[in-house]
Amino acid sequence: MRMGIDLGGTKIEGVVLSSKGIVLAKERVPTPQNYSAILDAIAELVARLETSAGGRASVGLGGPGAESAVNGRMKNSNTQCINGESLREDLSIRLRRIVRFSNDANCFALSEAVDGAGAAYSSVFGVILGTGTGGGLVFNKQVLSGANGIAGEWGHTPMPNYREGRPCYCGSVDCVETYLCGAGLARSYSNAGGEAMLVPEIVKRADAGEALANTVLDVYCRQLASALSVVINIVDPAAIVLGGGLSNIAKLYETVPLYWNDYVFSDRCVTKLLPAKYGDSSGVRGAAWLWGE
């Protein structure tokens, strides 16, 4: 059996999968606000899930941030209490077994590549469009982490063709994330003269025929196409799978592939753009799949 643990800012989710990907046990608990309590919560969750599933499982952990290539300690996590901590090592000691770790975007991509929307493809780029913007690369059902543990960190590359001077929390300006995350789309709408509102209301207005909302969503599609064309030009994945709240915008799947033809360095682009099969459960499933055959 394989167990996946998804460490989020507000919840910790665990799942136990059979060798065929069938869910044997599943549970969510609130995320504590200090490091020691997080370790306790995960250890207790693992014990309960194994009791429910009826046996011992391998454990894969997904979460925000990355492990330092220098000392293995966590960095770049918006769950700030784990930054600087040896999360995987400490959890391995607590659980008395080896724990594998990858960031949440990698886990999402792996889940969708193994038995999700990208299962039929040998190369998959998984994209999260939500509070932030992240990505993960999977080749032949294996996550590509990279020499620095940051492969797929597409959200913090410069947005091509659009330069408005948008500051990013990472310290750079005009990162892809500042345009494509939920707050980025909301900002684009207000910058175009609309009221301040959340993305679902903007989409609702577009569906109702509001010209401004439709124009802003069309620009968003072109921005996403422009940003993804960089990935296609460098990695050339067979499929790109979208997750996160903004992946529910139906317009993306028809319009973005039309627009990225203007940027991709080829006479045609056959890369598929697909919605995630498992939605917000992809991350925890991908953590379980960190243990392959």
Residue 48 belongs to domain with CATH number: 3.30.420.40
Whether residues 126 and 96 share a domain: the answer is no
By the 10 Å C-beta count (0-12 exposed, 13-18 middle, 19+ buried), 171 is classed as: exposed
Whether residues 62 and 126 share a domain: the answer is no
pLDDT digits (tens, 9 = 90+) for 1-28: 999 999 988 899 999 999 889 999 999 9
Per-residue pLDDT at 82? 94
Q: Whole-number mean pLDDT of the chain? A: 94
Q: Is residue 292 included in any domain, yes or no? A: no
Whether residues 63 and 157 share a domain: the answer is no
pLDDT digits (tens, 9 = 90+) for 277-290: 998 889 999 999 99
Q: Is residue 234 included in any domain, yes or no? A: yes
* Average pLDDT over every residue of 114-136: 94
Per-residue pLDDT at 293? 59
In the chain, the number of structural domains is: 2
Residue 78 has pLDDT above 80, yes or no: no
* Neighbour tally for 54: CB within 10 Å: 10
Q: Which of the four pLDDT bands, split at 50, 70 and 90, describes residue 210?
A: very high
Residue 292 has pLDDT above 90, yes or no: no
* Average pLDDT over every residue of 171-189: 96
Per-residue pLDDT at 148? 82
Tokens of 85: 């901590």
Q: Is residue 11 included in any domain, yes or no? A: yes
Residue 40 has pLDDT above 70, yes or no: yes
Whether residues 127 and 240 share a domain: the answer is yes
* Average pLDDT over every residue of 110-127: 97
Amino acid present at 66:
A
Give the angle subtended at the CA of 132 by the CAs of 84 and 81, to the nearest 5°. 20
Q: Which of the four pLDDT bands, split at 50, 70 and 90, describes residue 131?
A: confident
Whether residues 99 and 122 share a domain: the answer is no
pLDDT digits (tens, 9 = 90+) for 100-111: 999 989 999 999
Whether residues 94 and 127 share a domain: the answer is no
Give the angle subtended at the CA of 177 by the CAs of 172 and 178, to the nearest 5°. 70
* Average pLDDT over every residue of 140-162: 91
At a CB cut-off of 8 Å and minimum separation 6, what does 118 contact?
112, 124, 126, 138, 238, 239, 241, 274
Per-residue pLDDT at 36? 96
The domain of 264 spans 117-276
- Which pTM does this prediction carry? 0.90
Q: Report whether 34 contacts 81 (CB < 8 A).
A: yes
CA distances from 194 to 13, 198, 266 (A): 37, 11, 37
pLDDT digits (tens, 9 = 90+) for 227-285: 999 999 999 999 999 999 999 999 999 999 999 999 999 999 999 999 999 988 899 99
Whether residues 49 and 121 share a domain: the answer is no
* Average pLDDT over every residue of 52-62: 96
Residue 140 has pLDDT above 70, yes or no: yes
Residue % of the chain over a pLDDT of 90: 86
Closest residue by Cα to residue 280 from 253, 245, 251: 245
Whether residues 60 and 32 share a domain: the answer is yes
Amino acid present at 206:
A
Whether residues 136 and 265 share a domain: the answer is yes
By the 10 Å C-beta count (0-12 exposed, 13-18 middle, 19+ buried), 212 is classed as: middle
Whether residues 159 and 271 share a domain: the answer is yes
Amino acid present at 74:
M
Amino acid present at 123:
S
* Average pLDDT over every residue of 150-163: 93
* Average pLDDT over every residue of 190-201: 96
Q: Is residue 289 included in any domain, yes or no? A: no
Per-residue pLDDT at 197? 96
Helix-helix angle 211-235:251-260, to 10 degrees: 50
Amino acid present at 146:
G
Per-residue pLDDT at 185? 98
Q: How far apart are CA 119 and CA 133, in angstroms?
A: 22
Q: How big, in percent rounded to 5, are the helix, strand and coil portions of the chain?
A: 40, 20, 40
Whether residues 129 and 268 share a domain: the answer is yes
